Structure 1
């Protein structure tokens, strides 16, 4: 099947946008296809061994497409495929083709570490994938090895180079900016992004889960990033029209754009329209949430489409989550780091760590 070729799928003909208690619409779905990863990044999953989600609990692609259709009936129009590392899930292009049968979906994006991308990029493009985001935290092979505990830097570069050749545009490169580790590479990363027509997005180090050894003194805040870049490039202009996007975007004098996701120091909870579904069907309405809703069991028990939509609608309409703002408020009483979840608790419930819920 050619890229974006029309296919037929039975979906509701009526799409209604649901809003939560704070008036935030249900618009974006992050769909994790696996909790496994082929890296061990210090800020995400630094332990060598984890308690993995039972394979029999993982949703099939058909189940993922069905669950997604309930979300799109309630307003979702953008889907991002995540992991773990999503390219570890076999035959991912088949899921993309299934999702594109849903006419409510206007965009399917993929977030990947890039290691397996070069081998799969053409099949992803032909399946109809719209955009690719690649994680790239350093341009120094020795730092990459230190951060990820794997020697895969060259394969990540191959993945980045393959994106444009396959025909994709709009590549984004995500960099977790860590003070004292890669804060001396911001300019190099911007220049690297220019070479590949990619927009770099710097992400403040986040205190999600707890095994990542987060501490406030490792956070490189938005204003510090802008100061570093401004000293080199001169005037930096904010780009208006952020909407519900997580990144604040900026423009350099030569027209180069970049983004900063500043959820640690400048939370954007008031505009957050994202839901997360794990590979085994747990639904989280906030990245920081410690409790989710099991969608897999009712789906496998044969719940009707009407009842499932009602269940999701009710869950979103009752949503009050402002997780990043709540964490920020803890700074005033010196309790932010105390709220990190211990490794033993994470082993008891693997859903609590970021790699299981798609970041």
Structure 2
């Protein structure tokens, strides 16, 4: 079997001087005054689907097992994030986090932290029907399920797997387990996307789910993303307006990535996450931890900071905190996708975490 090799990410392993003006305590700040309170934790880069906009049909070279954080290393970093860095929300991602062997345990450990963070999960939904109740019992608060179409044929084409029924069962189980509000994350195919958007919103309104449509971003393993072929936010809204009355939600958006619209007068909403055409970097409150222990201060960052190395070299909690703060202090003003010199990250989304 042929696999696509990702190459090594750009990792900061140097010992640059800590910025003199960087706060050593309090919120996890950058130089633009943004405080990171939302931690995205990738537990694995493995996935059981092969979505066309994420990875090639033949799969990828997965990260070596020895490079992955152990359960103990992961939970130590979670503790430091909450107790020393001010993290208030943790979202577990992948790859596909349901493939992580100790998912229930890591959620339970996060739920024991004080102050207790809000705990969420982003999943493709395959296998969720069998896990929803145990995840809720472990302490999971809510779930986002990736679903790009409710058409079985399109689903099989996009994901290269015939698993739509399993995903729909997973959504039902999540709602029954109280993991609400259950959100549906959709990345639309350029060809079928306008029709899929309408069908997805009807489906979500019927079942009480919240739809979030996400612009396709330059994070595919094949580096085939092209701006002119991806559906942008305006086109998505135009497609939805053929079937629904959409009005801007008057509630403050805050740091939420989705711009919300009231559907047919509300209270139901639909969200559009237009990361490319309507960036929201100025309000970003996220810090990211990859499955192999690298901090990324932006989804599109070209550099990473190696916390795994600090951990395995016997670093203290203070050493880890300082490395994490320094990484976030250097965060750029924006992702730079719309700049002439933008270079797509070498890691795809599956190796970064959503």
TM-score above 0.5, yes or no: yes
Aligned residue number for residue 266 of structure 1 = 278
User: RMSD of the alignment, in Å?
Assistant: 1.8
Q: How far does residue 340 in structure 1 lie from its aligned partner after superposition?
A: 4.2
CA contact (8 A) 1:284 1:292 kept: yes
Is the partner of 1:275 in helix, strand or coil? strand
Hey, what's the Cα distance between the residues in 2 that align with 1:249 and 1:105?
Answer: 27
State how 1:179-198 maps to structure 2 within 5 Å: 179-198=190-209
- Pick the structure with more helix per residue: 1
Q: Which residue of the other structure, out of 24, 28, 51, is the alignment partner of 2:38?
A: 28
Hey, what's the Cα distance between the residues in 1 that align with 2:298 and 2:221?
Answer: 16
Hey, what's the Cα distance between the residues in 1 that align with 2:246 and 2:314?
Answer: 58
Stretches of structure 2 lacking an aligned partner (at least 5 in a row): 1-23
Aligned residue number for residue 301 of structure 2 = 289
Q: How far does residue 53 in structure 1 lie from its aligned partner after superposition?
A: 0.7
CA contact (8 A) 2:144 2:183 kept: yes
**2:311 is the alignment partner of 1:316:** no
State how 1:167-178 maps to structure 2 within 5 Å: 167-178=178-189
Hey, what's the Cα distance between the residues in 2 that align with 1:303 and 1:340?
Answer: 32
Structure 1 pair 130–122 and aligned structure 2 pair: CA distance change class (3 A): same
Hey, what's the Cα distance between the residues in 2 that align with 1:236 and 1:225?
Answer: 14
Is the partner of 1:175 in helix, strand or coil? strand
Q: How far does residue 261 in structure 1 lie from its aligned partner after superposition?
A: 0.4
Structure 1 pair 282–47 and aligned structure 2 pair: CA distance change class (3 A): farther
**2:107 is the alignment partner of 1:96:** yes
Aligned residue number for residue 5 of structure 1 = none
Q: Which residue of the other structure, out of 76, 80, 94, is the alignment partner of 2:87?
A: 76
Is the partner of 1:319 in helix, strand or coil? coil
**2:351 is the alignment partner of 1:356:** yes
Hey, what's the Cα distance between the residues in 1 that align with 2:339 and 2:257?
Answer: 19
**Could you list the per-position Cα deviations for residues 124-172 of structure 1 after superposition, in whole angstroms to 9, with x for gaps in the alignment?**
0100100100000011111111111111111111111111222222000
CA contact (8 A) 2:296 2:327 kept: no
Aligned residue number for residue 339 of structure 2 = 329
Structure 1 pair 182–231 and aligned structure 2 pair: CA distance change class (3 A): closer
Question: More displaced, 225-234 or 26-35?
Answer: 225-234
Q: How far does residue 274 in structure 1 lie from its aligned partner after superposition?
A: 0.8
Q: How far does residue 102 in structure 1 lie from its aligned partner after superposition?
A: 1.1
Hey, what's the Cα distance between the residues in 2 that align with 1:250 and 1:168?
Answer: 23
TM-score relative to the length of structure 1: 0.87
Q: How far does residue 318 in structure 1 lie from its aligned partner after superposition?
A: 2.5
Q: How far does residue 15 in structure 1 lie from its aligned partner after superposition?
A: 7.6
Q: How far does residue 251 in structure 1 lie from its aligned partner after superposition?
A: 0.7
Hey, what's the Cα distance between the residues in 2 that align with 1:249 and 1:328?
Answer: 23
**2:38 is the alignment partner of 1:43:** no
Aligned length: 329
Q: How far does residue 242 in structure 1 lie from its aligned partner after superposition?
A: 1.1
CA contact (8 A) 2:143 2:182 kept: yes
Is the partner of 2:41 in helix, strand or coil? strand
Q: How far does residue 17 in structure 1 lie from its aligned partner after superposition?
A: 0.9
Aligned residue number for residue 125 of structure 1 = 136
Q: How far does residue 104 in structure 1 lie from its aligned partner after superposition?
A: 2.8
TM-score relative to the length of structure 2: 0.88
Q: Which residue of the other structure, out of 236, 248, 253, is the alignment partner of 2:247?
A: 236
Structure 1 pair 141–289 and aligned structure 2 pair: CA distance change class (3 A): same
